[in-house]
Amino acid sequence: MSDWRFLYESLHDSPDPLWPWLAAHPDPVADIRKLGSHESSPDQDALWDLYAVGRVIDRLLADHLDAYPAFCATLGAERITHPDFHPFFHEVAEVRQSSDPGEPPEIVQERWPGFLLGSLLVSRAGVVVTAGERHLVAGVADRSPLYWTYHRRDRPARDLSHGWGHNSQWRTDARRDYLVDGRFHYNVDGTEPPSSQEEIDLVRHRCGTLVDPGDPFPYDQFHVEGP
* pLDDT recorded at residue 1: 54
**Residue closest to 213 by CA, chosen among 203, 195, 198:** 198
pLDDT tens per residue across span 99-120: 999 999 999 999 999 999 999 9
Strand pairing report for 146-147 and 157-158 = parallel
* pLDDT recorded at residue 99: 98
* pLDDT recorded at residue 164: 76
Query: Which residues fall within 8 angstroms of residue 215, CB to CB, at 6 or more apart?
Result: none
Alpha-carbon span 81 to 190, nearest angstrom: 27
Alpha-carbon span 5 to 109, nearest angstrom: 32
Alpha-carbon span 93 to 101, nearest angstrom: 19
Domain with 41, as residue range(s), is: 3-225
Q: Which residues pair with 69 in a beta bridge?
A: none
pTM: 0.96
Q: How many domains does the chain have?
A: 1
* pLDDT recorded at residue 162: 87
Q: Which residues pair with 179 in a beta bridge?
A: 184
Alpha-carbon span 96 to 111, nearest angstrom: 14
Residue 192 is given by DSSP the state: B
> Per residue in 24-63, is it b (16+ CB within 10 Å) or e — as a string?
eeeebbebbbebbebeeebeeebbbbbbbbbbbbbbbbeb
* pLDDT recorded at residue 166: 76
Query: Which residues fall within 8 angstroms of residue 86, CB to CB, at 6 or more apart?
Result: none
Q: Which helix (H) or strand (E) holds 79?
A: strand 78-79
* pLDDT recorded at residue 163: 79
Which amino acid is present at 11? L
pLDDT tens per residue across span 148-188: 999 999 899 999 998 776 778 999 999 999 999 999 999 99
Q: Point out the residues of the chain with pLDDT beneath 70.
A: 1, 165
* pLDDT recorded at residue 102: 98
